[in-house]
Amino acid sequence: MLFRIVFVLCLLLSSARAQTAPPASTPSTVYIAHDAAAIQHYRTDDAVVRKMVDRLLLAVTGQSEVARAWRALVSPTDKVGIKISASGGELFSTHRAVVEAIADGLASAGVSRHSIIVWDRNTNGARAAGYRGGDRYQLLSVAPRDGYDAKAIFSAPIMGKLVWGDLDYRNDRGRTPLLSDKENTSSESHFCRILSSQVTKVINVPVMGDNPRTGIAGCVYNMTVPNLDNWRRFTAGASGGSALSLVEMYADPIIEKKVVLNLMDGLVAQYAGGVEAAPNFALHYATILASKDPVAIDAIALRQIERWRSNAHLPAIGDLAAHVEIAGQAGLGNADPARIALRNVKP
Q: What are phi and psi of 260, to 5 degrees?
A: -105, -15
Average pLDDT of the residues of the chain: 90
Name the CATH superfamily housing domain 2-155+191-344.
LarA, N-terminal domain (3.40.50.11440)
- Number of residues that this document lists for the chain: 347
Q: Strands 80-84 and 116-120: what pairing? A: parallel
Q: How far apart are CA 101 and CA 32, in angstroms?
A: 16
What's at 269, amino acid-wise? A
**What pLDDT was estimated at residue 347?**
77
Closest CA to 223 of 247, 197, 200: 247
Sorted by where each begins, the domain ranges of the chain are 2-155+191-344
Averages of pLDDT over runs of 10 residues in the chain (347 residues) are 42 42 73 98 97 98 98 98 96 97 98 98 94 93 97 93 92 54 84 98 98 95 97 72 92 97 98 93 98 98 98 96 96 96 93
Residue 131 near residue 118 (C-beta atoms within 8 A): yes
Query: Whole-model pTM?
Result: 0.91
Closest CA to 320 of 250, 217, 229: 217
- Each residue's pLDDT tens digit, 198-215: 999 999 999 999 999 999
Cβ density class 40-72: b for 16+ within 10 Å, e for less: eeeebbeebbbbbbbbbbbbbbebeebeebbbe
**What pLDDT was estimated at residue 195?**
98
> For the chain, what is the largest distance between any 2 Cα atoms, rounded to a whole number of angstroms?
65
Residue 261 near residue 106 (C-beta atoms within 8 A): no
